[in-house]
Amino acid sequence: MTHIEQVIQAFGKHGAEHLEAERRKSTADSLQAILSWGAVLPLSLCRLAHGMIGILDLDETSLLFGVAEAAKMPSWLVEFQGESSEVQGLRVVMAEMSPANAAVLRQLVPHTRPQTLGLKPTFGFGDRIGLATSGHVLAMDAAGERIIPIFAQQSIREMSRTARTAREVIDDATWGVFRAGWVRPFGADADHLKTTSDVEMTAQAGFVFFTIDPSEYVDQHVENYNQNKIEQRFQNLIDSSIEGAPDFINLYLDKTFKIEKEQETIRVTFDEIALKRAAIKYGRALDHTYQMAHHVAKVMGSKPFELELSVDETAQPTSILEHLFVALELKRHAIPIISIAPRFVGDFEKGIDYKGDVSLFEKSLIQHMAIAEQYGPYKIGVHSGSDKFSIYPSIGRICKGRFHVKTAGTSYLEALRVVCRKDKEFFRSIINFARSRFAKDRESYHLSAGLDRVPEAGKLKDNELERTYLDQDHGRQILHVTFGSVLTESTNGHYRFRERIRKILLQNQHLHEDVLRHHLGKHISLLLV
């Protein structure tokens, strides 16, 4: 069989369908011989009616290609913006990975579009550089279909600090899943949304999961208020027309709610002080949540979407009574929350393992999960989930498949691991710059790292760099929280680090995928223990 016959035989007849495993390599080899340049990626090959599309890797870039018989050129082929030519009776289009072509790809190949995922267990992969999705796909090998990935996940803060747009985040995930041949559902999480304009921007880009962050409206000082101030603040809620506030007393005062957990029943009673403290702490935050939720529904229209409420970025842990109050109010106002992320006991610092008593975390998680099941149902969100290895088995066991874990910075650190292994002097320059920015950049994070706890790069041997700055807590956090400064530092419009980091990752695609598979795969595996 000739190369041309091999390729034509693999063409599709109807809708989009990735090529079956046993035909990928031979078809890729035939396409390689016909196209005669670049490297055809077998996993990307996807049949369309009377043709095929796939990814062609060049030295430091990639192209989308479409191919069909010249005499039977299908209409979908001309939708891609690119250079068209005829090769041995085939019409070939070479197209850049542009926003316009990503939009066409999502229309033609449904499994490159994010979906709503319901109550299934989900794991969020953050990608701050835009080249990690294919490695994240490989990390999912450990899960099979037991955990559903959210490949496009970025907060407004992260987008601002990395100078990326919401559309870029969606497009990078689109190309990544197509490149890796991912055909199962995946999600897209617009994380930590605080304003209606945040909602509009991310909805327009294609996000379907919206995490509402009302933390600016949470009163984090309520525990310090005396009786007079509690009465004053509670009355202010009512006078300020906070939605639902006039009903709090009639609905909850001295009422006892039963929470069934395993073999035990917990009784939570809203005495006057406890009720008013919970209302003061979360009343305005809930009011803001209702407004945001209604705006999401308005913007999305008939399109499916999901909502998460994040109250994890507070100084004090969310008590069981506070969680119950929030859950009851969300239910009363018919807000369709799919996940709530409470502030757990212990410390969830960025980029390192959980700091705290695991047994206390488990006890708290059991209670939070019981509320989620009884007054939802919804999933429990675990944010700042990067590298929290010691509690992953607890999350998997206690939540019984109803969890949503988020990671972000750990994938950035693994990208720097590739940089370290391939260009140590460049990695040293990143460390030096990160150290110079650490005092400023750490201000918005809860951290225990300090510059005095980690040697300067110049004092370390080459074989000590990776261990010190990527395997030990203080070094990891210094690099973790300075990601925005590193990725956006520029002079006269030229990025000092960003493009060189991308170049190293593109030149070492397989290594990048391998370190992500290993590190994020460990996260996934422990959740399944």
- Rounded mean pLDDT, 434-444: 95
Where helices occur in 12-131 by DSSP H, the ranges are: 21-35, 99-108
Provide the 10 A C-beta neighbour count for residue 332: 12
What integer pLDDT is reported at residue 311 of this predicted model?
93
Of 191, 219, 441, 513, the active-site residue reads: 191
231 catalytic? Reply is no
Average pLDDT over residues 121-149: 96
Report the Cα 367 to chain-centroid distance in Å: 26
Confirm if 320 and 256 have CB atoms less than 8 A apart: no
List pLDDT tens digits, range 178-234: 999 999 999 999 999 999 999 999 999 999 999 999 999 999 999 999 999 999 999
In this model, does residue 262 exceed pLDDT 80? Answer: no
424-441 helix and 473-481 helix, angle to the nearest 10 degrees: 80
Give Cα separations from 246 to 10, 110, 201 (angstroms). Answer: 66, 47, 34
What local confidence, expressed as pLDDT, does residue 453 receive?
A: 96
CA–CA dist 399, 380 (Å, integer): 7
Look at residue 281 in the predicted model and tell me its pLDDT: 97
Provide the pLDDT for residue 6. Answer: 93
Delimit the domains of the chain by residue range.
3-111, 117-215+279-409, 411-509
Per the prediction, the chain carries an average pLDDT of 96
User: Among candidates 411, 413, 520, which has minimal Cα distance to 143?
Assistant: 520
CATH 3.40.50.620, applies to 117-215+279-409: no
Euclidean distance between CA atoms 415 and 162, whole angstroms: 15
Average pLDDT over every residue of 368-391: 97
What is the share, in percent, of the chain residues with pLDDT greater than 70? 100
Q: Say how far apart CA 246 and CA 349 lie, in whole Å.
A: 38
Residue 152 confidence (pLDDT) above 80: yes
Catalytic residue among 168, 172, 198, 308: 308
Q: How far apart are the first and last CA of the chain?
A: 48
308 is annotated as an active-site residue: yes
